[in-house]
Amino acid sequence: MKHVILDCDPGHDDALALFMAMGDPDIDLMEVTTVGGNQSLEKVTKNALSLIELVGGKVPVYSGAPTPLVKAPKWAGYIHGESGLDGVKLAPPKSEVAGTHAASQIVKTVMDSPDQYVTLITTAPLTNIALAALMEPKICSRVKEIVMMLGAVHTGNVTPVAEFNAYTDPEAAKVVFERKWPITMIGLDVTHQAICTKGVQKKLAEANPSLKEVLDGLINFFRESYKDEECFPDPPTHDPCAVAYALDPSVVKTVKCPVSVETKGDLTCGMTVADLRALAPKDCNTQVGLSLDVEKFWSMVEKDIANLRAGK
């Protein structure tokens, strides 16, 4: 059983990651924390609450950092729309957030839990995680692992070398990578293989007819955004890859290597620099994903979505 804090900014692919985390019997989703990223903090927090209520969940949500540590925010409305979840009309949430200081809550949960108990899965800029690590450095030795959808070994998407989550708050990413905790970076090298074709979409909808309208709305909008903005005929489904790896590491091929985050370069800000030149030092605590077992991945997503029931 994985005892998980999911730090996210829903977001279409965050929605699928959240559905996986809620639908998998091997995940104890302890809490969800939100951060400004794909859209403003207010919007992504509302989306998280609505998505959890949609499938009858009782997971507490804590809102966190509204802006990056240093940079001015630049939301991804060009991909996720004005609401952050355009393409589907979710019911306004009936519940309120459990708290508004996500970093403090992450510290509390980790410190109150047994050593090596909590897995952090992050699918957003790392602002909340960096603040938590700065607030209480002891969490770095107590967290079991961090699995993050962030970065790229090779090609970026916001710039030629920088992925969105890293680019949005590179200073936070630098803080997180410079701490000594086990990190697995699931970047674009992996997630650009998780292509949600129309055939895959059909299987997901058939796996759970009660969610068909929501899934089709989300994926269809996401598909059109990627056609317009990044010339993908079908959308890469980034964030569920991090959940899938946390559940079954064999779904992603990884290699251990040092990773540094560029914060100053005019052309390279937000680049996650993976040093693959030689064998990693023995004390290396970071690894990066390089490829995805696509068939196994979609089978996992389908299975977890099948376990959910809209309106239950």
What is the Cα–Cα distance from 41 to 61, expressed in whole angstroms? Answer: 12
Candidate list 12, 80, 192, 238, residue with the active-site label: 238
Question: How many angstroms from the chain centroid is the CA of residue 17?
Answer: 7
Q: Give backbone dihedrals phi and psi of 301, rounded to 5 degrees, phi first.
A: -60, -45
CA distance 312 to 300: 22
Q: Which stretches of the chain are DSSP H helices?
A: 12-23, 41-54, 77-80, 102-112, 127-135, 139-142, 164-168, 170-177, 188-191, 198-207, 212-230, 240-247, 294-306
Residue that is written with structure tokens 């700065």 in the block: 134
Q: Closest by alpha carbon to 120, among 136, 134, 96, 103?
A: 103
| Chain centre distance of CA 287 | 17
Q: What is the bridge-based pairing of β-strands 272-274 and 259-261? A: antiparallel
CB distance 291 to 241 below 8 Å = no
154 tagged catalytic? no
Q: Residues of 212-247 as b/e, b for ≥16 C-beta within 10 angstroms?
A: bebbbbbbebbbebbeeeeebebbbbbbbbbbbbbb
CB 226 within 8 A of CB 79: yes
Question: What's the burial of 206, exposed, middle or buried (CB within 10 Å: 0-12/13-18/19+)?
Answer: exposed
Catalytic residues: 238
